[in-house]
Amino acid sequence: MTRRGGGPDTGSTKGFTGSVSDATGTTLAEPQAQTEQETSIGMSMWAIVLAGGIGSRFWPLSSPDRPKQLLPLVNDRPLISDTIARLYPLIPPERVLIVTSRDIAGAIHARIPEIPHANVLAEPVPLGTAASLAWGASEIARRAGPKTVFCCLHADLAVGFPEALRFSLRRAAGIASREEALVALGADPSRNDIAFGYLLPGEALDYEDQVANGGAARVAEFVEKPDAESALRMIADGALWNTGIFVWEAGEVLDQLADHTPEVAPGLAALRDNDIERFAKKVGSISLERGLLERTSNLVVLPTDCGWDDVGTWACLRRSRELDDDGNGAMGPAHFVDATSNIVHAEHGQVVLYGVHKLLVVSLANITFVTTLDRARDLKPLLDQLPGSLRLRAGK
């Protein structure tokens, strides 16, 4: 089995003893007993799932009519369905908010009807993830109170071990409540990937429980998408990948945004009045990583061993899909002969790869797309040169 974080799976799950099986049948360890605080907070946690945009980096499969969140990229379920399922039973559907684009909100909700309609927050215009977080946090504070702890995550994450994730979320909830801190889950890096953020641990919260042993620590430095040399330096210094999974109190994150994110702060009064249209006009678009995490000094990192990976580009599917002995991964009918390290997504006809290496092949009813996995990391130069009708309608 290939571990979602990019290296071979060792079966290690920090902070676990005993064994259970996850949804894939993989044997995991039983979580250690939770503290009373973690148990009580965990029973009332909320979640915000960021699910905006169509995912142009998965062209031609993604389109306005079939956005990335609805695609079965890791297994046979849409990404958004996987996200909701891995939170349960820690966070039931009635305590999950989905922040998404207005144009795809209906399609998103149709795939996850267990989420109450009032919990689907449709952005009037693309807000950026910092402003999306502010809207979700404000809604949780209004419904459940400003001391309510919630997790925030993206809809395009792969998690190999959902039970380990829920265990980490409970631990993070206790830390967020006790320390009144922003808590980020961190994963061990397996390469100097410049598409990720890096969290450098500083002072441990508990001297007896260092980061190397699964303990939490204050973040000494956070860098979003560093260059390759900086990423190598930070890894050598003990940095963890930012998983994009965060846990914090609703009121605390709103205070932090007010203090550190001038792109969002002018709109917070409109949120308090529950005026979303005015809020959208007052805020600027910025990611929560650059708009808040790189600026705050109140950030804590907690390691997780949940088998995390980011489903950001076609190339990442070699890490999140099951592979054959030659490193090929396929969704749909595909045959590989003297072929290694390829990815195929076939929805129309049979695909045969012979004597090739590190190719991406996407076969749909009205288009076949072939490139290398390296070039598939950035499709913007391609999309900029395609006719609009082809660029927007290819995924249909």
CB distance 309 to 192 below 8 Å: no
Give the C-alpha separation, 95 to 46, whole Å.
5
Give the C-alpha separation, 110 to 301, whole Å.
35
Any idea what the Cα angle at residue 169 is, between residues 149 and 143, rounded to 5°?
25
Comma-separated ranges of CATH 3.90.550.10 domains in the chain: 16-310
Q: What is the CA radius of gyration of the chain?
A: 21
Relative to beta strand 217-224, strand 329-331 is unpaired
What's the pLDDT score for residue 278?
A: 96
Q: At what angle do helices 129-144 and 250-260 cross, to 10 degrees?
A: 140
Q: What is the CATH number of domain 16-310?
A: 3.90.550.10
What's the pLDDT score for residue 62?
A: 84
CB distance 108 to 80 below 8 Å: yes
What's the pLDDT score for residue 181?
A: 94
CB distance 53 to 67 below 8 Å: yes
pTM over 0.85: no
Give the C-alpha separation, 354 to 347, whole Å.
19
Q: Going residue by residue through the chain, which has 396 residues, state the pLDDT in tens, using 9 for 90 and above.
A: 233 333 333 333 333 333 333 333 333 333 444 455 555 555 689 999 999 877 778 889 887 778 888 888 887 789 999 999 999 999 999 999 999 999 889 989 999 999 999 999 999 999 999 999 999 999 999 999 999 999 999 998 889 899 999 999 999 999 999 999 999 999 999 898 888 999 999 999 875 567 777 899 999 999 999 999 999 999 999 999 999 999 999 999 999 999 999 999 999 999 999 999 999 999 999 999 999 999 999 999 999 999 998 887 887 777 777 889 999 999 889 999 999 999 999 988 899 999 999 999 999 988 999 999 989 888 889 988 888 777 765 544
Residues 6+ apart with CB under 8 A from 123: 52, 99, 100, 101, 102, 132, 135, 280
Relative to beta strand 120-123, strand 182-187 is unpaired
